[in-house]
C-alpha cells in the first residue's frame, strides 16, 4: 500500500494555495473558492464502499446560500455517467459519489453559476487503487529489442560541445550549453549543464532531467539551481535537437508546423517500433548518461534521473534501460499504460485513443515497447514518485499502475488536490530525497 503523506487539512491547503500566484487549483485573485471534502480524509476507499463529498462554495469569502451546484460523475477522465444537482445551504451541500466495483477513480465535476458567470471545479476519489494493474503486456522480445538498440548507439563515439552561458551562471554555479551528438546521421540534443563552481575531480553526483512534453525551450534553467549549489551536476535536456537559445516565437512556429494533434512527434512512426520517434528520444537519455559519467568531476557512484510528466516517464524509462542509474524520481509520469483505454478505463498521456485511427494492431504493438510500465517492471533501484488525484493530463489511475508494478525500494508522496503540477516545496523535496539515497 502506498505510504500516504497527504498534506493535512484540505481547507488549510486550499487557502494557502490562494496566496500563491502559481496555484492552479485556486486561481490567483479569484473572487470564488471551492472547497471539496471527501468523507475519507485521504480520499481513498475500498471497492464497494460508498463515498460522499461535502461541497463548499464561497464568493468574496462569503458562503453562498441557495446557489444550485450541478454535478456530473464519471470514471477517471472518462465521460460522465450520472448527473444531478444540489442546493447550497449556508454555503454547503453533500454530493453522493457512490462506489466502484473495480479498482479506479471517480471524478465529481462541479459547476455553479452566479450573476451569469459559471465557475467549475472537480474532485477525484479512489477505490482500492493499490490493486490497479496494467492492461499493457510485456513483449517477449522487449529486452532483446532494447539491448540491440543500446548496442547500436554504443558504437558511436561520444561527441559534444560545451559552451559557458554567462546569464545562467552565478557566484556559486557554472552553467554550460551542451550539444550532444546522438548518431552518425548528425542528430543531436541540447541541454543546460549546471555545476558547482570550482568543483573537484571525482566529487559530484550527476542528475539527468528529461523534459516535459512539447516542442519548447528549456525554461528557467536556474529554477533548480539548488542541485548545483548542493554539490550535484545536473543536465536539463531537450529531445528534439533544437537549440534552447532560440526565441519563444521560433519554438512556437516549429511546434505549430510539426506538432499537430494528428501528426505530433509522439505519434510519429507509431506503426513501426523500429522507426518510432521516441526510440531516438529514449536512446538520447542513455547517451546523456554516457556524457554525464564521462565527466571527470563525476563521483563514480551516483547517477540520478528526475523529471515530471513526459520527463517523469523518461526518468523511469532510463532507470529501466540503464543499469548505471542509482536512483529515480518521477512526478505523474506520462506514457504509462497508454493502451489502458482498451480495458474501458483511463489510459496514459498522450491519450492516443481519443484520436481516430490510432487503435490499430501495429500501433498497439509499438506502444508496448515504449510504455513506462514495461520499463518500471525492470527497475531495481530506489524510486520516488509523486502524483495528485485531480490530474486530467496524467491521470492518477496510470500513476498508481506504474507504482504498483515497481518491484524495488519505493516511496510515494501523494498530494490529492494537485492537478498537473507540483509545488516548489515538492520539487525541493525531490532533492532532499535524492541526497538521502546517495551511495
The per-residue pLDDT for range 376-435, each reduced to its tens digit, is 999 999 999 999 999 999 999 999 999 999 999 999 999 999 999 999 999 999 999 999
Q: Which of the four pLDDT bands, split at 50, 70 and 90, describes residue 22?
A: very low
Judged on CB neighbours under 10 Å (0-12, 13-18, 19+), 288 is buried
Q: Which of the four pLDDT bands, split at 50, 70 and 90, describes residue 16?
A: very low
Q: 201: which DSSP letter?
A: T
Rounded mean pLDDT, 324-346: 97
Round the average pLDDT of the chain to a whole number and report it. Answer: 92
Whether residue 335 is predicted with pLDDT greater than 50 in this model: the reply is: yes
Q: Where are the domains of the chain?
A: 10-131, 142-436
CATH number assigned to the domain with residue range 142-436, chosen from the 4 options 3.10.20.30, 3.40.50.1820, 3.90.550.10, 3.30.70.1430: 3.40.50.1820
Whether residue 325 is predicted with pLDDT greater than 60 in this model: the reply is: yes
Domain 10-131, what architecture?
A: Sandwich (2.60)
pLDDT above 90 as % of the chain = 85
Which range among 4-13, 155-164, 165-174, 312-321 shows the weakest confidence by mean pLDDT? 4-13
DSSP string, 136-181: PPPPTTHHHHHHHHHHHHHTS---EEEEE-GGG--SSEEEEEEEEE
Distance CA 68, CA 53 (A): 16
Whether residue 342 is predicted with pLDDT greater than 90 in this model: the reply is: yes
Choice between 219 and 204, residue whose per-residue pLDDT is larger: 204
Distance CA 122, CA 111 (A): 9
- Using the CB atoms, write b or e for 160-169: b if 16+ within 10 Å: beeeebeebb
Which range among 209-223, 231-245, 308-322, 396-410 shows the weakest confidence by mean pLDDT? 209-223
Contact 392, 420 (CB under 8 A): yes
- Enumerate the active-site residues: 309, 391, 420
The pLDDT, as a whole number, for residue 220 is: 81
**Across the strands, what pairs with 304?**
207, 327
The pLDDT, as a whole number, for residue 10 is: 36
DSSP string, 297-365: TEEEEEEEEEEETHHHHHHHHHHHH-TT--EEEEES-SSSSGGGGGGTS---TT-GGGSTT---HHHHH
Tell me how long the chain is. Answer: 439
Whether residue 303 is predicted with pLDDT greater than 90 in this model: the reply is: yes
Q: Which of the four pLDDT bands, split at 50, 70 and 90, describes residue 221?
A: confident
Contact 202, 296 (CB under 8 A): yes
Whether residue 21 is predicted with pLDDT greater than 50 in this model: the reply is: no
What Å distances lie between residue 419 and 5, 51, 123, 131, CA to CA? 17, 20, 10, 22
Q: Which of the four pLDDT bands, split at 50, 70 and 90, describes residue 8?
A: very low
What Å distances lie between residue 153 and 80, 280, 376, CA to CA? 47, 10, 22
Distance CA 322, CA 380 (A): 11
Q: Which of the four pLDDT bands, split at 50, 70 and 90, describes residue 11?
A: very low
Rounded mean pLDDT, 51-76: 96
pLDDT above 70 as % of the chain = 93
Amino acid at each position: 500500500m502506498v505510504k500516504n503523506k497527504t498534506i493535512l487539512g484540505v481547507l488549510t491547503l486550499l487557502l494557502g494555495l490562494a496566496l500563491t500566484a502559481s496555484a492552479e487549483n485556486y486561481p490567483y485573485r479569484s473572487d470564488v473558492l471551492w472547497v471539496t471534502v471527501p468523507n475519507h480524509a485521504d480520499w481513498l476507499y475500498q471497492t464497494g464502499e460508498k463515498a460522499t463529498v461535502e461541497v463548499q462554495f464561497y464568493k468574496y469569502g462569503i458562503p453562498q446560500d441557495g446557489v444550485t451546484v450541478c454535478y456530473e460523475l464519471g470514471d477517471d477522465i472518462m465521460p460522465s455517467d450520472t448527473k444531478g444537482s444540489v442546493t447550497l445551504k449556508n454555503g454547503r451541500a453533500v454530493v453522493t459519489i457512490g462506489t466502484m466495483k473495480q479498482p479506479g477513480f471517480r471524478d465529481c465535476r462541479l459547476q455553479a453559476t452566479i450573476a451569469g458567470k459559471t465557475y467549475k471545479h472537480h474532485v477525484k476519489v479512489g477505490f482500492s487503487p493499490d490493486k490497479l494493474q496494467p492492461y499493457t503486456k510485456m513483449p517477449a522480445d522487449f529486452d532483446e529489442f532494447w539491448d540491440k538498440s543500446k548496442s547500436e548507439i554504443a558504437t558511436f563515439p561520444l561527441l559534444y560541445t560545451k559552451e559557458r552561458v554567462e546569464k545562467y551562471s552565478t557566484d556559486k554555479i557554472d552553467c554550460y550549453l551542451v550539444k550532444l551528438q546522438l548518431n552518425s546521421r548528425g542528430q543531436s540534443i541540447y541541454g543546460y549543464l549546471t555545476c558547482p563552481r570550482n568543483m573537484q575531480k571525482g566529487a559530484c553526483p550527476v542528475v539527468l532531467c528529461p523534459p516535459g512534453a512539447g516542442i519548447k525551450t528549456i525554461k528557467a534553467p536556474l529554477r533548480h539551481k539548488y542541485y548545483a549549489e548542493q554539490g550535484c551536476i545536473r543536465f536539463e535536456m531537450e529531445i528534439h535537437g533544437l537549440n534552447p537559445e532560440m526565441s519563444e516565437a521560433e519554438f512556437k512556429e516549429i511546434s505549430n508546423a510539426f506538432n499537430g494533434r494528428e501528426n505530433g512527434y509522439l505519434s510519429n512512426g507509431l506503426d513501426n517500433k523500429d522507426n518510432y520517434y521516441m526510440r531516438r528520444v529514449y536512446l538520447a537519455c542513455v547517451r546523456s548518461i554516457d556524457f554525464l559519467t564521462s565527466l571527470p568531476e563525476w563521483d563514480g557512484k551516483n547517477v540520478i534521473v528526475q523529471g515530471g510528466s513526459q520527463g517523469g516517464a523518461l526518468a523511469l524509462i532510463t532507470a529501466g534501460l540503464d543499469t548505471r542509474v542509482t536512483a529515480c524520481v518521477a512526478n505523474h509520469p506520462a506514457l504509462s499504460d497508454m493502451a489502458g483505454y482498451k480495458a474501458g478505463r483511463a489510459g496514459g498521456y498522450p491519450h492516443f485513443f481519443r484520436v481516430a485511427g490510432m487503435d490499430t494492431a501495429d500501433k498497439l504493438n509499438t506502444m508496448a515497447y515504449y510504455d513506462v510500465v514495461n520499463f518500471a517492471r525492470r527497475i531495481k533501484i530506489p524510486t520516488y514518485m509523486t502524483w495528485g488525484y485531480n490530474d486530467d493530463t496524467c491521470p492518477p489511475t496510470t500513476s498508481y499502475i506504474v507504482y504498483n508494478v515497481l518491484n524495488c525500494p519505493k516511496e510515494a508522496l501523494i498530494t490529492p488536490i494537485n492537478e498537473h503540477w507540483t509545488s516548489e516545496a515538492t520539487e525541493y523535496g525531490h532533492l532532499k530525497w535524492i541526497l538521502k539515497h546517495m551511495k
